[in-house]
Amino acid sequence: MTERLYYTDSYAVTFTARVVERLTVAGRPALVLDRSCFYPTSGGQPYDTGRLNGVPVEEVIVRDSDGAVMHLLAADMDGEAVSGEIDWPRRFDHMQHHTGQHILTGAFLQEVGARTVSFHLGSEVCTIDLDRAGLSAMDIEAAEAAANAVVTRDLPVRAWFPAADELADLALRKLPAVEGRLRVVEIDGFDLTACGGTHVARTGEIGLIKVIRAEKYKDMMRVEFLCGGRARRDYAEKNALLLGLAADLTTSYREIGASIERLRAENKSLASDLRAARGQLLAAEADALWAASAPAGGLRVIARAWADRDPADLRTLAGRLIEQPGTVALLGLAGEKTQLIMARSADRPELDMVALLRGTVAALSGEGSGRGGGRPDFAQGGGGPADTARLQAVLDAAASRLGGA
Comparing CB distances to Zn ion, the nearer of 7 and 306 is: 7
Verify binding: residue 98, Zn ion, rule CB under 5 A.
Answer: yes
Q: How far is the CB of 160 from Zn ion (least distance, A)?
A: 13
Q: How far is the CB of 101 from Zn ion (least distance, A)?
A: 7
Contact 39, 2 (CB under 8 A): no
Comparing CB distances to Zn ion, the nearer of 98 and 320 is: 98
Verify binding: residue 200, Zn ion, rule CB under 5 A.
Answer: no
Q: How far is the CB of 126 from Zn ion (least distance, A)?
A: 13
H/E stretch holding 288 reads helix 256-292
Count of helix runs (H) and strand runs (E) in the chain: 8, 20
CA angle 93, 94, 96 (to 5 degrees): 65
Rounded Cα gap, residues 84 and 6, in angstroms: 13
Instruction: Give me the amino acid identity at 308.
Output: D
Binder of Zn ion out of 44, 84, 197, 372 (CB under 5 A): 197
Comparing CB distances to Zn ion, the nearer of 98 and 222 is: 98
Comparing CB distances to Zn ion, the nearer of 195 and 379 is: 195
Verify binding: residue 404, Zn ion, rule CB under 5 A.
Answer: no
Which one of the spans 92-100, 151-159, 273-281, 296-304 is the region binding Zn ion (CB under 5 A)?
92-100
Comparing CB distances to Zn ion, the nearer of 197 and 383 is: 197
Verify binding: residue 44, Zn ion, rule CB under 5 A.
Answer: no
Long-range contacts, 187-190 (Cβ 8 Å, 24+): 187/99, 187/102, 187/103, 187/106, 187/150, 187/155, 187/156, 187/157, 188/155, 188/156, 188/157, 188/158, 189/155, 190/103, 190/106, 190/150, 190/155
Q: How far is the CB of 264 from Zn ion (least distance, A)?
A: 46
Comparing CB distances to Zn ion, the nearer of 135 and 195 is: 195
Task: Give the 3-state secondary structure of residue 196.
Answer: coil
Which one of the spans 167-175, 191-199, 284-292, 329-337 is the region binding Zn ion (CB under 5 A)?
191-199
Verify binding: residue 210, Zn ion, rule CB under 5 A.
Answer: no
Binder of Zn ion out of 52, 72, 155, 195 (CB under 5 A): 195
Q: Which residue is nearest to Zn ion (CB)?
A: 195
Rounded Cα gap, residues 151 and 399, in angstroms: 84
Q: How far is the CB of 3 from Zn ion (least distance, A)?
A: 19
Rounded Cα gap, residues 264 and 214, in angstroms: 27
Burial class (CB in 10 A: 0-12, 13-18, 19+), 124: exposed
Binding site for Zn ion (CB under 5 A): 98, 195, 197
